[in-house]
Amino acid sequence: QKNLPPSPPALPVISHLHLLKQPLHHTLHQLSQNLGSVFSLRFGSHLVVVVSSPFAVEECFTKNDVVLANRPRVAFGKYLGYNYTTIVAASFGDHWRNLHRIMVVEIFSTSRLNAFLSIRQDEIKLLLPRLSQNLSRDFKRVELKPKFYELTFNIVMRMIAGNRYYDDDLSNYEAATEFRELVIEAFEYGGASNPGDFLPHRRDKSKNTMIDHLLSLQESHPDYYADEIIRGLILVMILGGTNTSAVTVEWTLSLLVNHPEVLKKARAKVDTHVGQERLIDEPDLSKLHYLQVIISETFRLFPTELLLLPHISSDDCIIEGYNMPRDTILLVNAWAIHGSPKVWDDPTSFKPEWFEGGEVGHKLMPFGLGRRACLGAGMAQRMLGLALGSLI
């Protein structure tokens, strides 16, 4: 191990990690309480550094962001791997830069997101009456989880391919997740080996779906927009963009139901800014600051990616004064930072007010930070705001 001047010390390394019968983020949190907010572990031949403080996170994603912008291949399974060509698993370099540019410009730009607004509105309009079925008679028990899966999955699939994939009113969570798996497998292993196969209306460009759009770019730049690239982009949207948002809608509603005073205040804000005559729309979201802070507070308590996604160092760097050698895997314990009493007073309580003052710096990171942060964050925020505002 090469020490850089001024010879920072090597990190203390734990050589045997006894995996306890509890989730990994809990084990890592317990270790950080004894070893400090930066420590390292050896997993087989891999050196892994775990960071669990806003200060260490800031060091990772500001001055060391480029060095830590790589992904460790070992950490990505078959789906996200896709031979490591998808944007999530790709090494930091020209290929990732190309994909990043395509996603930012062709998929997540404001104009592309606006073009799909009617899909999001439409799916919400289909969801709401299903929740209130038979309510005129009495209260009715409704299983919400599959409905939220249906919502986010249909929004993403309609953006991609133009059609809904869950057409029945799903009341069963297992059916919803199994179906998602089937689509992913079909996509990866056969049915949709040509991206155009996902388009029932392959040459009907009027729907202007994401696949249509990418295929027309393929006509003008066939080398750049190869089939494999288009397939990988779509796979990443399904994998990264459906469960995460559905789970967050569910947690937010659960927190609101358990904190009626917050729900009451949120409803009053919606009434003031939107009124009773119409449904909430995405342009209203900029006025509904309280809704945004509720979502931030939900992300603090229940971030869907507890350890973000793993990064790997492409060179030596220094974190909290320790030398972190090249090829070290980085795990960020976002869950521990979000719940740390050193960072938040009373961290286990649900207090949207935390975020009313504006920026909170490196204390909240549901979408990760730096160059490899989530690309779908803007789209997710729109989906979440619209869904929750409508439900409230």
Q: Is residue 376 a contact point for ligand HEM (CB under 6 A)?
A: yes
Angle of CA points 212, 78, 14, to nearest 5°: 135
Task: Determine the Cα–Cα distance for residues 93 and 390; give it in Å rounded to an integer.
Answer: 41
Q: Is residue 309 a contact point for ligand HEM (CB under 6 A)?
A: yes
The one segment of 38-46, 138-146, 339-347, 374-382 that binds ligand HEM by CB under 6 A: 374-382
Structure tokens at 111: 């104009």
Are 316 and 326 in contact, with CB atoms under 8 Å apart? yes
How many Cβ atoms sit within 10 Å of the Cβ of residue 147? 21
Q: Is residue 54 a contact point for ligand HEM (CB under 6 A)?
A: no
State which residue, 121 or 304, has the beta carbon closest to ligand HEM.
304
State which residue, 171 or 391, has the beta carbon closest to ligand HEM.
391
Q: Which string of x and - marks every residue 80-109 that binds ligand HEM (by CB under 6 A)?
A: -------xx---------------------
Q: Binding-site residue total for ligand HEM (CB under 6 A)?
A: 23
**Strand pairing category for 13-14 and 38-43:** parallel
Q: Is residue 375 a contact point for ligand HEM (CB under 6 A)?
A: yes
DSSP 250-298: HHHHHHHHH-HHHHHHHHHHHHHHT-SSS---GGGGGG-HHHHHHHHHH
Q: Is 374 annotated as a binding residue?
A: yes
Out of 305, 315, 316, 327, name the contact with ligand HEM by CB under 6 A: 305
Q: Is residue 373 a contact point for ligand HEM (CB under 6 A)?
A: yes
Q: Which of 75, 76, 32 is nearest to 57 (CA)?
A: 32
Q: Is residue 304 a contact point for ligand HEM (CB under 6 A)?
A: yes
Q: Scan for tokens 């979502």, then name that residue.
A: 295
Residues with Cβ within 8 Å of residue 279, at least 6 apart in sequence: 121, 124, 125, 128, 390
Query: Minimum Å distance from CB 30 to ligand HEM?
Result: 22
Helix (H) or strand (E) holding 13: strand 13-14
Q: Which string of x and - marks every residue 333-372 that binds ligand HEM (by CB under 6 A)?
A: ---------------------------------xxx---x
Q: Is residue 380 a contact point for ligand HEM (CB under 6 A)?
A: yes
Residue of closest CB approach to ligand HEM: 376
**Strand pairing category for 311-312 and 317-319:** unpaired
Binding to ligand HEM (CB under 6 A): which residues in 137-196?
A: none
Query: Minimum Å distance from CB 119 to ligand HEM?
Result: 13
Are 28 and 307 in contact, with CB atoms under 8 Å apart? yes
Binding to ligand HEM (CB under 6 A): which residues in 240-259?
A: 240-241, 244-245, 248
Q: Which residues bind ligand HEM (CB under 6 A)?
A: 87-88, 236-237, 240-241, 244-245, 248, 304-305, 308-309, 366-368, 372-376, 379-380
Residue numbers belonging to the annotated binding site: 374
In the annotated binding site for heme, the residues are 374
